[in-house]
Amino acid sequence: MNIDDLSWQARHHGGVYPRMVRTLLDLGQVELLVRAARERGDWNCAEAAARELCEAGECDRALALVAPFAEIGWRPAEWATAEIMIHQGEGDEALATVRPDATELGDGHVCARYAELLSKAGRIEEAIDVLKPHLGEHWLRSRLVEVTERQGCDDRVLDVLTREAERMERTESAACERCGQKSCGVARTDRWDVLLLISRVLERAGRMDEAVEVLRAERASGRRHPVNFPEYYAELLARQGLIEELGVLAAEDHRSALDVYAKALEDAGRPGEAETVLREGIEAHDHPKDRAALMRLLVRQGRVDEAVETGRPTYEYYDCWNFLPWALELLVDDGRPGRALELLDGLTDEYVKEHPDQVRHLRLWLLGEADRCKEGISEATALNEREPGEWDTALARLLERDGQTEEALALLRSSTHYLVHHDLPDMLIRHGRPAEALDAIPTIAESRAAAERREREREQEAAERREQDDPWAATGAFGVEPRF
């Protein structure tokens, strides 16, 4: 265990990755996480296990678990120790151990964590004071709202945020005067962010009318807004049941509000109107966001085939608005993997040619879902012969589904595929072998060494490609012939 490896784990999710930690917790495998923390020096395991032990009243065990990490100076372990002590009722002692010094008070990340602990210790006024100097950073403004929730200090938070909004208004006005424009955009986004937070605090304080009015007035100002502003406004109107006003907003800004308006109509017992609104929006603007909203509406009504047809125009898009994988999942969940295969086979030759690996992976998955495993195994094996190792994980999943679990595990254990360190533990978990799953995950040091080796190999390959493209580049001389 050392600081460098722990820092690498925090950046790259090496060792026991967060999703596996959550899975083991859900399975009640706290002792496995404890073992991994002690034997492997894995901080993800130590932190999660310590929290679970603390909640179970085993605070002394939790403290002992994180102690070795704190002893080497790992700051997250010091924060975790303080949190456990606060849970034990030792708030003053805990805060004294992690109180930022003068140099750290300028670090927003340190202050955010300290403010969170102050809040847990019931010292909310101090938490606000710690964060106030950092309100120029949007994520710390959000943290202020988060750590003060249900702490009985909404009026104080509103005062702090209102003063910040006024300061930003003055800054923006002064900047616009200097450049001679009515609205030059300086500080505008930050001010909008503060207004959203003010509305959020008013809403949680039960001051619904004021929460709506803050955004209503800003909307009426005629200023241009970022996308999230009208979207948040639409969601607020929906939560308050102001459907007619929401309808007006949707007519003016369909991209931000139409799907929210339709869902509000559905929730109000008006699904037919919701469907009409979305279909008219698609006809007028054909934005994939509206198609997604209509697909979700139709699925909720059990109209899966109509949902699939609604998404059809997107199935050959070249971006994140391609709903093909979603449509295939809908059909599989509806018990019709054969129909999903027909949909996949109906793609144009041009799209298949441009996305061969994606289409092949989808086909292999669907063959497994359709209980055509032998066919899928044959296809995956042939692909692996042409591209050794590239199809190991797909082939292993088909072998598993065909009942050849040990063969699948053996393939993954011998594979060099980049996903194997996730797929192998996942498969072991599915078969009730959590201890083996944990042991199959490389340690932090092993993960780091492998990642650094891959990076060196990529750099070497890149250098070789550059040399092939430009033989003179290897000499280090630009525009000068090398001497022989």
In the chain, where are the structural domains located? 153-222, 227-301, 319-369
Burial class (CB within 10 angstroms; exposed 0-12, middle 13-18, buried 19+) of 382: exposed
Question: What is the model's pLDDT at position 475?
Answer: 54
Q: Record the pTM.
A: 0.86
- Tens digit of pLDDT for each residue in 156-196? 999 999 999 998 888 777 766 666 555 544 446 788 899 99
Please state, in angstroms and rounded to a whole number, the distance separating the CA atoms of residues 127 and 147: 8
Please state, in angstroms and rounded to a whole number, the distance separating the CA atoms of residues 321 and 110: 38
In 18-171 the beta strands, taken as DSSP E runs, fall at none
Cα→Cα distances 283→37, 286, 290, 367, 419, Å: 56, 6, 10, 35, 42
* Positions in the chain short of pLDDT 70: 175-188, 227, 471-484
**For residue 88, what are the contacts with CB-CB under 8 A and spacing of at least 6?**
59
Question: What is the model's pLDDT at position 179?
Answer: 62
Cα→Cα distances 195→158, 185, 235, 260, Å: 10, 16, 15, 20
Closest by CA to 96, choosing from 86, 87, 106, 107, is 86
DSSP 118: H
Question: What is the model's pLDDT at position 403?
Answer: 97
Please state, in angstroms and rounded to a whole number, the distance separating the CA atoms of residues 19 and 44: 10
DSSP 314: G
Measured distance between the N- and C-terminal CA atoms of the chain, rounded to whole angstroms: 51
C-alpha gyration radius of the chain: 28
Please state, in angstroms and rounded to a whole number, the distance separating the CA atoms of residues 114 and 392: 46
Spell out the alpha helix ranges (H) of 182-323.
188-204, 208-220, 228-239, 243-252, 254-267, 271-285, 288-300, 304-311
